[in-house]
Amino acid sequence: MIGTQPTGTIQGVVITAVSHEGLRVSVDGKPARLAIVLEDGSLVIAGDDVAREAEAVAVNCYRNMLQGKGFLRVLSVPLEALPPNK
């Protein structure tokens, strides 16, 4: 887990991350977009919002690990509070 993770495993696809720019994707040198696709192939959403959300989850996960909370799962949306017991 510690150390450089392997990259370059998807032919023609380059994903870059710059701290002040976020995630960017290119395919065979052409700009591309990240997307959320269901198992049946239907597109849910694509574009900058997906890249920002993916980056935020990855950064928060990394920060949790640095804080000694690496075992915690990071979600892209806050959990709803349960109603108080009556």
65's tokens: 């690990």
- Say if residues 54 and 34 touch (Cβ distance below 8 Å): yes
pTM over 0.75: no
Do 67 and 54 meet the contact criterion of CB atoms below 8 Å apart? no
How many distinct helices (H) and strands (E) make up the chain? 1, 5
CA 28, 32, 37, 41 dihedral sign is negative
Residue extents of the structural domains in the chain: 13-66
pLDDT at 70: 63
Whose tokens are 């290119």? That residue is 26
pLDDT, tens digit only, all 86 positions of the chain = 568 888 889 999 999 988 788 889 999 999 999 999 999 999 999 988 899 889 988 888 888 888 887 666 666 775 455 566 54
Two structure tokens written together for 53: 């959300």
The per-residue pLDDT for 79 is 45
